[in-house]
A and B are shown apart, each in its own frame.
Chain A
């Protein structure tokens, strides 16, 4: 393959074993500078946010470098750098504005962990002509995992043309190609990740399950639970290591979803077994309630402080210090519990129950087409929400609003789990309205729960007047937020339960009376 160098772009070539700069001695004088070696550590999150954002973050010594990711795991131009004393885990811990801006979009709440590490051995080489003029520079690199020759995973070079000496660079590329060098190949990051078998994987809390409307209900629910349970257990190591708060959050969401699907699509498994499993799941979730609450408070620290006038903000510092300390203890307890046999047995019990080859007693809806059951459930849930909404007003008690939120969540989970079975075009608008409604209900619930928690903190700790000021101010604002949310809920309910949405649900999910099947809801 002929490559004519026409500009100053570096040309990268993957090299066979044994090919070094010495092969160029016949045509030029070589000056080979002393070899330098550096260890590069590559960082990413559990969700591979940096990788899938087409970037690479690596550190060498104290300096973090963020660069573009070329195809096949090569490092592109560096976009920003930051010298850091101490490890950086979250985007907010970086100080350079450009670094923070890019990383915030890629990381969110996720924490960084090392995903690969390699020793990069570099040799700079200058080619000089008869007059002693440098006509080309080449950087030879080895990527290895250790100090021995057999640890080398990749050898490559970068030919750096000099302006006005393109002929020489072209000739270098030609000579290296004749000796087995290639212009393409996997880059260092790809090679290191493959070597450690730690490959980027897309992560989602909304996987597809490969269901059709005719899939038998028991098989469908088993598949859903198996998949979601696998996601839950994938998050456990991250919880134990306390890499970030999202591991626990996602773990709890998965447990909640599994519990929900078992209750929503009834009579698919024997009732007693279903109840036992729901209790088990509830127990697993309850074990982490307090830790999750503390995470939420601490994540909202800046927001809470921002709600108060500057003079009162320091009143909350003591409370957050208490939360932090409690969180540390709670984290240790949770990590310990998750590694104990008792916990692992519970998880195993769940996994065994939903295995592909698991056998259970017959139940009424086990063999029914899952599409039929799901449509009935969805329509029933929708009607229930409409019934609650009909009486919704300013005087509606808080408990009723919470009930509405729970019903909305059930409907949302149903539509999410079985989205493969639902006609997307007909229900897109309805699902959008449901999400908005759930958002407002969530705001209401959050404000309500937070008020209770703050009052509970006050009652348990009895601090002085300064803390009273801070807490009082915060609780007032949260109460006001709750009322505002209530007004918005009314508006969203009217839209969600209104004529066109109701027609869409009826059209999509209301089955003819003559359809077979038990009343599985």
Chain B
């Protein structure tokens, strides 16, 4: 089983759109996929028409596993299940802080789902907290959507620096360009330069597309209602690139 995260410090960069569409693409490719929405905003689950998770007591690892398992919902797409978010996830940090090996508990929890899924995909909250660190340490790959602007470059530098300081391997980070506009000269320049600084940059580029924004209207992944548009093809290409990478990959 592989664990992949969709993460960004900033909001509004296409993190949730990535999680939702990548989950769909993985399922389409035959992988049993579990999408875990850890962002209290709950957008990922919203797109799948799944209600918020039921409340459960987070006392320890086992209760966390049981609570998450109880909240698994099968999506409309066979092979793809969702654990929706809940506002109570804001207490994650408190729970984790009280545990032994507090930075690695999430991995232990997610491994309980190994028999049932090939890939767990996490839509992460846009911040850096103890939960974020758990997410980083639990993941086999961290997908980081980057809008090709100067500020995004700075954000990526911060993230890489954090990883270095915390002794986490930088090659887990797999940035890729999101909401890219090929008619925008600045975008084009940054798309040429940035990958040279970060060797882990994925080649696939997700273009800016109003079709993606319509996900909120359709309440389903882009790939389910507009499979042949440019953005959908880009998500599929990204999925293919991730699957064929040595890490993450399919066992």
- Chain B contact patch, size range: 10 to 19
With both beta carbons as reference points, the residue of chain B lying nearest to A161 in the complex is identified as B74
Contacts of A164 in B (CB 8 A): 71-74, 81
A132 interface hit (Cβ, 8 Å): yes
Query: Does A162 lie within 8 Å of B74, measured CB to CB?
Result: yes
Contacts of A132 in B (CB 8 A): 49, 219
Interface string of B55-92 (1 = CB under 8 A from A): 00000000000000001111010000100000000000
CA distance A162 to B49 in the complex (A): 14
B51 interface hit (Cβ, 8 Å): yes
Nearest-neighbour CB distance to chain A for B24, whole angstroms, equals 15
A390 interface hit (Cβ, 8 Å): no
A30 interface hit (Cβ, 8 Å): no
Contacts of A162 in B (CB 8 A): 73-74
Which residues, 117 to 132 on A, are CB-close (under 8 Å) to B?
A: 131-132
A240 interface hit (Cβ, 8 Å): no
Contacts of A134 in B (CB 8 A): 76
Contacts of A131 in B (CB 8 A): 49, 51, 219
Contacts of B74 in A (CB 8 A): 8, 162-165
A340 interface hit (Cβ, 8 Å): no
Contacts of A133 in B (CB 8 A): 48-50, 76
Nearest-neighbour CB distance to chain A for B75, whole angstroms, equals 8
Which residues, 19 to 48 on B, are CB-close (under 8 Å) to A?
A: 48
Which residues, 192 to 206 on B, are CB-close (under 8 Å) to A?
A: none
Which residues, 73 to 122 on B, are CB-close (under 8 Å) to A?
A: 73-74, 76, 81
With both beta carbons as reference points, the residue of chain A lying nearest to B53 in the complex is identified as A164
Q: Please report whether the interface of chain B is mostly helix, strand, loop or mixed according to DSSP.
A: loop
CA distance A380 to B50 in the complex (A): 85
Query: Does A165 lie within 8 Å of B76, measured CB to CB?
Result: no
Which residues, 422 to 472 on A, are CB-close (under 8 Å) to B?
A: none
CA distance A8 to B71 in the complex (A): 15
Contacts of B71 in A (CB 8 A): 164
Which residues, 154 to 197 on A, are CB-close (under 8 Å) to B?
A: 162-165
Nearest-neighbour CB distance to chain B for A135, whole angstroms, equals 9
Contacts of B72 in A (CB 8 A): 163-164
Query: Does B73 lie within 8 Å of A163, measured CB to CB?
Result: yes
Contacts of A163 in B (CB 8 A): 72-74, 81
Interface string of A112-154 (1 = CB under 8 A from B): 0000000000000000000111100000000000000000000
Query: Does B73 lie within 8 Å of A165, measured CB to CB?
Result: yes
CA distance A165 to B72 in the complex (A): 9
Nearest-neighbour CB distance to chain A for B44, whole angstroms, equals 14
With both beta carbons as reference points, the residue of chain B lying nearest to A133 in the complex is identified as B49
With both beta carbons as reference points, the residue of chain A lying nearest to B76 in the complex is identified as A134
Nearest-neighbour CB distance to chain A for B239, whole angstroms, equals 23
Nearest-neighbour CB distance to chain A for B39, whole angstroms, equals 19
Nearest-neighbour CB distance to chain A for B84, whole angstroms, equals 9
With both beta carbons as reference points, the residue of chain B lying nearest to A164 in the complex is identified as B73
Contacts of B76 in A (CB 8 A): 133-134
CA distance A164 to B50 in the complex (A): 10
CA distance A8 to B32 in the complex (A): 15
Nearest-neighbour CB distance to chain B for A344, whole angstroms, equals 59
Nearest-neighbour CB distance to chain B for A337, whole angstroms, equals 58
Contacts of B73 in A (CB 8 A): 162-165
- Residue with the greatest number of chain A CB neighbours at <10 A, chosen from B50, B51, B76: B76
Nearest-neighbour CB distance to chain B for A333, whole angstroms, equals 56
Ordered nearest first, which 5 A-B pairs have the shortest CB separation? A164-B73, A133-B49, A163-B74, A162-B74, A134-B76
24 A-B pairs (CB sep. < 8 Å)? A8-B74, A131-B49, A131-B51, A131-B219, A132-B49, A132-B219, A133-B48, A133-B49, A133-B50, A133-B76, A134-B76, A162-B73, A162-B74, A163-B72, A163-B73, A163-B74, A163-B81, A164-B71, A164-B72, A164-B73, A164-B74, A164-B81, A165-B73, A165-B74
7 new A-B contacts at CB < 8 Å, known A132-B219, A133-B76, A164-B73: A8-B74, A131-B219, A133-B48, A133-B50, A163-B73, A163-B74, A165-B74
